[in-house]
Amino acid sequence: MTNTQKLNGTVALVTGASSGIGEATAVALAEHGAAVAIAARRKDRIDALAGRIADAGGTALAIEADVSSQASAEALVEQTVADLGRLDTLINNAGVMLLGPAVDAPLEEWERMISVNVQGLLYCAHAAIPHLLRAAEDSPRRIADMVNISSVAGRVARSGSGVYNLTKHGVGAFSESLRQEVTSRHVRVSLVEPGAVATELASHNRPEIQEQMKGRFGGIERMQSEDIADAIAYIVTRPWRVAVNEMLIRPTEQEN
């Protein structure tokens, strides 16, 4: 492992770690010395990632979980603490983005976004908070972190992305409220709002929606998952007195 080792002795849980931003974040936190629990539904992908982290000298635990199930989210947090001993850092990253006009939209898509982006994040947060408070009290770093992944879509609403906007605006509101509640107890709650990142996220949309999205982002150089992982690693490796509350990160060529 090549990085600063600032997270030695800590345990991080990354949801949605089977691809994209979550996968890159798990690697980055492991490089900083954290033992990482990596969660998603695609077990083969997280098993392979755990293998790669271990091969590089890190510690990783792959846990199959569907965060939209309260029981599964709670079991995920509890298994992390049982197997790795504690929980210092939660990266609430799992999410889906299903765009298109509200008129005649498949209700199932709306329900899926709310169940993963909102309920899933809340289930993980609820289960993790007691452990994060404990970690902040007993660790030499005097700090614990929850990083919630929102989006530019959590700041700006657009025609054709109303329910995704709803979920990410909700993540922002919850994060700021929770931040105020727990910051004096040294649990930092941070919000990261990426613009376009080259991941699998858009590929779950209907073909006609994917065509429209190409029109919007086709001409710009999108960010890589590692760019966002880098920002997340920066946030959680600050000294305890520094809380990065919010980070909005767009590709240079993305205007809005």
Ligand X SMILES: NC(=O)c1ccc[n+]([C@@H]2O[C@H](COP(=O)([O-])OP(=O)(O)OC[C@H]3O[C@@H](n4cnc5c(N)ncnc54)[C@H](OP(=O)(O)O)[C@@H]3O)[C@@H](O)[C@H]2O)c1
Which residues are marked as active site? 164
C-alpha torsion 118→119→121→122, nearest 10: 110
Please tell me whether residue 50 binds ligand X under the rule CB under 6 A: no
d(CA 38, CA 40) in angstroms, rounded, equals: 7
Please tell me whether residue 67 binds ligand X under the rule CB under 6 A: yes
Please tell me whether residue 213 binds ligand X under the rule CB under 6 A: no
Q: Which of 33, 58, 100, 194 binds ligand X (CB under 6 A)?
A: 194
* Interface characters, 153-192, with ligand X (x: CB under 6 A): ----------------------------------------
Please tell me whether residue 93 binds ligand X under the rule CB under 6 A: yes
> Which C-beta is closer to ligand X: that of 76 or that of 143?
76
Q: Which of 84, 116, 143, 231 binds ligand X (CB under 6 A)?
A: 116
Going by C-alpha positions, the residue among 200, 191, 250, 203 that lies closest to residue 222 is: 250
Question: What is the sign, positive or negative, of the torsion defined by CA atoms of 91, 92, 94, 100?
Answer: negative
Please tell me whether residue 200 binds ligand X under the rule CB under 6 A: yes
Please tell me whether residue 201 binds ligand X under the rule CB under 6 A: yes
- Interface positions, 121-150, toward ligand X (CB under 6 A): 149
Please tell me whether residue 66 binds ligand X under the rule CB under 6 A: yes
CB of 239 to ligand X, least distance (A): 27
Interface contacts to ligand X, rule CB under 6 A: 15-22, 40-42, 45, 65-68, 93-97, 116, 120, 149, 151, 194, 196-197, 199-201
